[in-house]
Structure 1
Amino acid sequence: MNSPRNRLIYLAQSPLATRALLQKVIKLDPTCSKIFHHSTNELVNTYQLPVRRAEKLYRYIKQYQEDCSVSKKLADFKIWTILDQDFPLLLKLIPDPPVILYGLGRSDYLQHSPSLAVVGTRHPSQLAKQHMYRLLKPLVDREWLFVSGMAYGIDGYAHRIADYYKGRTIAVLAGGLLHPYPSKHLDLFHRLAKNHLVISEYPPHLKPERYHFPERNRLISGLSFATLVVEAQERSGSLITADQALEQGREVMAVPGAISLAQAKGCHHLIQNGAKLIQNTYDILQEWELIKRNWRQIRSEIH
């Protein structure tokens, strides 16, 4: 029980331990043991913490025991830490990788290739749904995997297409797995957790916060060789995901729409700025054919 990964997992359950702090802990001491022996002053000086936060973290750390109740509370979840051999390879390559992931379902999906992020508006047009079926169903038949955020609209529809046609999909949540959001997608959440994979970088007990959503989006793009935006307004979370994909060195694709449609403006903006215009499934397959050799080589090298 008293291993580096268990110490890291224990630290991560505290709201005092941000991702930045956990990354610094690992950088300074991969065994994650020294922090458990620091005084409050050492926590302040080593990690540049405010005094009150350091005092609270010190008290939390002192509660750690080898057989602590944290392990029992997390027993139902698959947990990957960045210290583990089976930590998702693709997420190691992004600028700000998660330190810990919690999951329910098919853990092998994190190694599946090719994987495509599918994102878009929460209020899609009827035409967008038709486009998604025509674009994505042939990819399901080719055993592609879709990554999305289980939100209303495009995200949920991407998951449902994969599930209905017996494909593969990963949902990345913006809160802990004990608090799936949105609540109206609770049935979808349970279906995905049973037959596919649902993951989060936030401890299971943590409720979603507004700032979690843009943080979550970097994992959606990070798990995929490309991000496909189906419909999106000019200022939207989907465009944030597209920006993060570009920052991560991934491809961005966009489906055009009617010039009078507000939900199409974000896609048109992406296309104007270099995103690949997607008119049919062949366009997506062509993009994968162009880069798959390099993509697979990168995966094999970091493996």
Structure 2
Amino acid sequence: MIRNLLKLDPQLQNLYKMPPAKLQQFLQIHSSKMEKFKYEFHSINVHKLTKLYNSKNISYITFHDSDYPQVLQEIHDPPLVLFFKGNKNLLTKHAIAIVGARAANKYAQTALDLILPELIRNNIVIVSGLAKGTDTFAHEKTIESGGKTIAVLGGGFFHLYPPENKALAAEIEKNHLLLSEYAPIIKPERWHFPMRNRIISGLAKGTIVVQAKKRSGSLITADMALEAGREVFAFPGPINDSLSEGTNHLIQQGAKLITSGNDILEEIILE
């Protein structure tokens, strides 16, 4: 809806002056909902919101800004706005995404111990989603090893999920980067997480899948990486472990089998 509106008014200069019927047409809102929309839209106090964001150290970049990440402009349906807390300069660095099962175990930790050191030595930023399991391991081990990490959230900053990662999020906000396409007041919804996966893979030169079941959000992220023309890497696992079904399947489908960070560095170009 917003993209349709931007075609008509790229700078949104006429947004408040536009006749309701025309606004309804471009936003494709049913007439029964238009009155409610008009009331809510005109009740938004932009200055109050920006003051609130500033007080919470929340900044934002729009698709039209010069510092919007070029790598995200190349993906399907790039986010129109990125809200962030922390070091925005990490968006300009070479990055690798790491995803995997929420039920990840010690095997995933061992895999990351083999993969991360070489990547960090080459100043590669590690991108993940702050979820339980693999994401948490990836962020924590990157920080412990002196690397830099970006966490992409599935909701707004005022509703951090999962709650048990609040301390980790605070550390990332302080010394790394927290990122979300959702406004701070938006609560995470189940469908947000597959959507945010396109940002995780879109920020990176390649995506590593460490542990994943055969039906897994991590495989969605791998598909999105391929759609964006990025590399997909998979860490193999025992054939009798359900958490290896997804990664072993990716390898069968042509993803590069990796056992170290060097296996990744061989495939990506650092300019």
Q: Which runs of 5+ in 2 are unaligned?
A: none
1:104 equivalent among 75, 82, 85:
85
TM-score, normalization: structure 2?
0.95
1-side partners of 2:41 and 2:121: how far apart? 50
Cα-to-partner distance string for 1:242-282 (whole Å, 9 max, x where unaligned): 01111111111101010011100000111111111112222
Give the deviation of 1:212 after TM superposition: 0.3
- Aligned-pair identity in percent equals 40
Give the deviation of 1:24 after TM superposition: 1.8
RMSD: 1.4
Query: Is contact 2:99–2:209 with CA below 8 Å preserved after alignment?
Result: yes
1-side partners of 2:142 and 2:62: how far apart? 27
Give the deviation of 1:125 after TM superposition: 2.8
Query: Is contact 2:154–2:192 with CA below 8 Å preserved after alignment?
Result: yes
2-side partners of 1:282 and 1:138: how far apart? 7
Cα-to-partner distance string for 1:184-204 (whole Å, 9 max, x where unaligned): 111101111111000000000
Give the deviation of 1:52 after TM superposition: 3.0
2:186 alignment partner in structure 1: 206
2:202 alignment partner in structure 1: 222
Q: Which runs of 5+ in 1 are unaligned?
A: 1-20, 297-303
2-side partners of 1:127 and 1:201: how far apart? 32
1:87 alignment partner AA: Y
Equivalent positions of 1:87-236 (< 5 A) are 87-113=68-94, 115-236=95-216
Query: Is contact 2:159–2:184 with CA below 8 Å preserved after alignment?
Result: yes
3-state SS of paired residue (1:121): coil
Query: Is contact 2:62–2:82 with CA below 8 Å preserved after alignment?
Result: yes
2:237 equivalent among 232, 241, 257:
257
1:69 alignment partner AA: K
Give the deviation of 1:86 after TM superposition: 0.7
- How many positions carry a matched residue from both structures? 269
Structure with more relative contact order (C-alpha pairs < 8 Å, separation 6 or more): 2
1:77 equivalent among 19, 44, 58:
58
3-state SS of paired residue (1:26): helix
Query: Is contact 1:121–1:232 with CA below 8 Å preserved after alignment?
Result: yes
Give the deviation of 1:64 after TM superposition: 5.5
Give the deviation of 1:68 after TM superposition: 2.9
Cα-to-partner distance string for 1:20-44 (whole Å, 9 max, x where unaligned): x222222221111223112322222
TM-score, normalization: structure 1?
0.85
Cα-to-partner distance string for 1:53-112 (whole Å, 9 max, x where unaligned): 3222222333456x7312112212111011211111111111100010110111100111
Runs of 4+ in 1 over 6 A off after TM superposition: none
Equivalent positions of 1:52-71 (< 5 A) are 52-63=32-43, 68-71=47-50
